[in-house]
Chains A and B, each alone.
Chain A
């Protein structure tokens, strides 16, 4: 059975990490979580990203967060990647599986998966 003592142990372990993360030079991954995103399946996409980023050991340089409606509801679930000094990358019609691929290829490997990105011509 999970106990609050276990949570205390997590806290003690995390203390040092909190200081490390003050860097600021990090990649931001944002998932649209308004009604449109949620209805289209954004919840498993977000969870897959959070999990992959941690499993790949990227949590010190990548943060995964949630936002409201991005305004392209027909392309939901939408994931935006903001890297310092680079142009924003918008992944559309995402699934948990695609999210894992993006985490490995793009967030870890630095290669944009263009087959999942939004093309200007589609708008």
Chain B
């Protein structure tokens, strides 16, 4: 992937597919480090599946037998001497507190650090594709914080879909303004 924001888009799609009602995307960075967390309240995975999901030859997809989403994120983290962890609680075992948490940490100073890229476009793409699920996005850069909570927007919009073009454009401008501040 050319940008980390594309890895985020890819891995967050897994959360939506796991039936998450809320997917949290958190980025925390300073001059040295970047930590990315993707946390969902979806159906979760068993310990065995978690181990397998990090392996490129494991996927739930039926069109092909290999899934590369998580392995590509792991590669991006590890090539900066960072790391990736996946923890998960299944709906069967934890009916009130299930979901998956993917955390990747990166050393930004490393030569092989992939730039974050257009994270605003990743958020608008996720929301356009999945207007009925919620996303909580927070990006902390030192003291600065950019955030978006689709639950707040949904409360205002009522019946109007978050996927409407005008709404997506509003979200894009809303995030861009926060970054520009």
Contact = CB atoms under 8 A, between A and B. Distances in A.
A7 to B, nearest CB: 5
Interface residues of A, number: 34
B61 A68 contact: yes
B57 interface: no
Interface string A66-86: 101111010000000000000
A73 B156 CA distance: 39
B168 A50 contact: yes
Contacts of B165: 50-51, 53-54, 59
Given A4-B152, A33-B13, A66-B129, A43 B121 contact: yes
A7 B128 CA distance: 16
Given A33-B129, A34-B13, A50-B128, 7 more contacts: A1-B177, A4-B153, A10-B157, A35-B10, A39-B1, A43-B121, A51-B165
A7 B153 contact: yes
B82 interface: no
Interface of A: 1-2, 4, 6-8, 10-11, 13-15, 18, 33-35, 38-39, 43-44, 46-47, 50-51, 53-54, 59, 64-66, 68-71, 73
Contacts of B68: 35
A114 to B, nearest CB: 26
Contacts of B160: 10-11, 14-15, 18
Given A7-B153, A35-B72, A71 B166 contact: no
Interface of B: 1, 6, 9-10, 13, 17, 61, 63-64, 67-69, 72, 121-122, 124-125, 128-129, 152-153, 156-161, 164-168, 170, 173-174, 177
Given A1-B177, A34-B13, A43-B121, A10 B167 contact: yes
Nearest to A67: B129
A53 B121 CA distance: 18
Contacts of B63: 68-71
